[in-house]
């Protein structure tokens, strides 16, 4: 008779996550390594009937640390000793991980003590290694009904997983953009670029691909090449004052062509996504800025129809149909033209036509857009 008993571990709660779903989470790939699949066991034939937001197994879950089971006096909890046990044999299997037949490569070695047919104790010579979610299995010629919990040893040694409290929280104060208060007197001016690069969210995780923003010096007309190796994630932060406008030249510096495809699955049914008016698809590297909650003129709202692809992208749709440039911001070959002032009287905008450079235009160039935010609203953290 075989009695199958239970698990589970401390450290991290994963309870039910993988088991409550009727559609299993993809946990591997087909033979080409590209199509996500679910394998019930490492030796089973996989199925593509599985779900995973990121298309890659376990991308969205925190990996668990693996280690030996806890073989100390408090390592096992006997929920029910069962009855009728005469020659119990203990195996410590695992509900997760990559065990062979459910047993890690280095299995724990344990025995059960039965008293009057009831399991009263589990003792182990070794805790093994590689356990994520240990399960105590007891086989016996006559007994049944035992229910015993095991756990992974907090003392380790643990391998993999994510440790708590090892990284400081990102400090927004270190990511504050530097305003240019000179180019447009009365306004704070910023040149912001969108790049695709890496961000390491946790010391125990590898860097992951992200899209995020960087501040470029005033007068920049080109994208950084190559993109910066890492981002100061969530930066740059623009600190604004009520009633002092912020002006932005935004440049989309995402990759073009096949490299410009979004690296996570995309819902093409949203407004502004999918195909354009001529039936050809929009690219997945379109971008805009949107100040949520701002008292902002419509031309600077960054709606689903106000965006730009990067310069050099081959597409029928380079900018959203509703994209408009700020009428009093001028550029000469993509480089900002400062507003005329008492000290800036030539090659400037806002004065006479003669003061404007010959090539000046409101168009900041392919891949760029301009924004004007009035900030005529109360103070708050906006995004
Ligand atoms: Cu909004």
Rounded CA separation 69/71 (Å): 6
pLDDT value of position 23:
66
State the sign of the Cα–Cα–Cα–Cα dihedral 310, 312, 317, 319: positive
Rounded CA separation 69/90 (Å): 14
Ligand 1 centroid vs 118 CA: distance in angstroms?
A: 64
Helix, strand, coil % over all residues of the chain, rounded to 5: 5, 30, 65
pLDDT value of position 327:
96
pLDDT value of position 51:
65
pLDDT of 380 over the 80 cut:
no
CB 61 within 8 A of CB 12: no
| CA 179 to each of CA 184, 192, 236, 248: distance values in angstroms, whole numbers, following the listed order | 11, 11, 11, 10
pLDDT of 307 over the 90 cut:
yes
| pLDDT tens for each residue of 39-61 | 888 788 888 777 654 444 344 45
Ligand 1 centroid vs 367 CA: distance in angstroms?
A: 22
Among 37-51, 209-223, 357-371, where is mean pLDDT lowest? 37-51
Ligand 1 centroid vs 290 CA: distance in angstroms?
A: 6
CB 93 within 8 A of CB 134: yes
| pLDDT tens for each residue of 234-272 | 779 999 999 999 999 999 999 999 999 888 877 888 888
The residue among 206 and 260 whose pLDDT is bigger is 260
pLDDT value of position 19:
32
| pLDDT tens for each residue of 90-130 | 999 988 755 555 677 789 999 999 999 999 999 999 999 98
Where are the chain's structural domains? 1-8+61-158, 18-60, 170-383
pLDDT of 332 over the 90 cut:
yes
Q: Is the peptide bond before 81 cis (omega within 30 degrees of 0)?
A: no
| Residue 251, strand partner residues | 193, 368
Ligand 1 centroid vs 263 CA: distance in angstroms?
A: 24
pLDDT value of position 11:
27
Kindly state the average pLDDT of the residues 363-376. 96
Ligand 1 centroid vs 382 CA: distance in angstroms?
A: 9
CATH number for the domain whose boundaries are 170-383: 2.60.40.420
pLDDT of 145 over the 80 cut:
yes
Ligand 1 centroid vs 251 CA: distance in angstroms?
A: 20
Rounded CA separation 61/165 (Å): 18
Per-residue pLDDT band at 180 (split at 50, 70, 90)? very high
Q: Which residues contact 286 (CB under 8 A, 6 or more apart)?
A: 252, 307, 308, 309, 317, 320
For the chain, give the mean pLDDT.
85
pLDDT value of position 32:
78
pLDDT value of position 41:
82
pLDDT value of position 45:
87
Q: Is the peptide bond before 8 cis (omega within 30 degrees of 0)?
A: yes
- In percent, how much of the chain has pLDDT > 90? 58
Ligand 1 centroid vs 380 CA: distance in angstroms?
A: 14
- DSSP string for 360-373: -BS---TTEEEEEE
- Structure pTM? 0.68
User: In the chain, which ranges are E strands?
Assistant: 2-4, 28-29, 36-37, 77-83, 89-94, 109-115, 118-126, 134-139, 144-149, 188-199, 208-216, 246-252, 330-332, 335-337, 368-373
pLDDT value of position 112:
96
Rounded CA separation 365/318 (Å): 11
Ligand 1 centroid vs 287 CA: distance in angstroms?
A: 15
Backbone phi and psi for residue 53, each to the nearest 5 degrees, phi listed first? -55, -40
CB 190 within 8 A of CB 247: yes
């Amino acid at each position: 008779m075989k009695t199958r008993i239970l698990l589970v571990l401390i450290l991290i709660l994963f309870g039910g996550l993988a088991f409550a779903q009727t559609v299993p989470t993809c946990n591997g790939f087909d033979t080409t390594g590209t199509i996500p699949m679910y394998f019930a066991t490492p030796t089973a034939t996989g199925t593509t009937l599985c779900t995973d937001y990121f298309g890659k197994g376990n991308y969205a879950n925190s990996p668990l640390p693996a280690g030996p089971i806890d073989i100390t006096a408090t390592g096992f909890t006997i929920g029910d000793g069962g009855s009728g046990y005469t020659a119990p044999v203990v195996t410590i299997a695992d509900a997760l991980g990559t065990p062979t037949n459910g047993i890690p490569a280095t299995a724990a070695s344990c025995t059960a003590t039965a008293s009057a047919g009831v399991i009263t104790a589990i003792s182990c010579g070794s805790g093994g290694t590689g356990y994520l979610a240990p399960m105590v299995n007891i086989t016996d010629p006559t007994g049944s009904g035992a229910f015993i919990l095991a756990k992974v040893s907090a003392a380790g040694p643990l391998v993999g997983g994510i440790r708590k409290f090892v990284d400081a929280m990102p400090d927004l104060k270190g990511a504050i953009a530097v305003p240019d208060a000179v180019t447009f007197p009365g306004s704070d001016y910023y040149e912001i670029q969108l790049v695709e690069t890496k961000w390491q969210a946790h010391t125990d995780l590898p860097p992951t691909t992200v899209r995020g923003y960087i501040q470029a010096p005033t007068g920049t007309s080109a994208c950084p090449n190559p993109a910066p190796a890492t981002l100061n994630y969530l930066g740059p932060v623009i600190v604004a004052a009520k009633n002092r406008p912020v002006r932005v030249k935004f440049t989309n510096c995402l990759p073009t062509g096949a490299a410009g495809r979004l690296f996570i699955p995309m819902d093409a049914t949203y407004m502004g996504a999918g195909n354009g008016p001529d039936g050809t698809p929009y690219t997945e590297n379109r971008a805009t800025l949107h100040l949520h909650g701002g008292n902002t003129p419509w031309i600077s709202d960054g709606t689903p129809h106000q965006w730009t692809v990067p310069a050099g992208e081959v597409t029928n749709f380079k900018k959203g149909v509703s994209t408009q440039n700020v009428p009093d911001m001028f550029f000469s070959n993509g480089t900002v033209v400062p507003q005329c002032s008492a000290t800036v009287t030539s090659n400037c905008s806002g004065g006479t036509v003669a003061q404007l450079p010959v090539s000046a235009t409101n168009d900041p160039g392919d891949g760029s857009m301009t924004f004007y935010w009035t900030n005529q609203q109360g103070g708050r953290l906006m995004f």
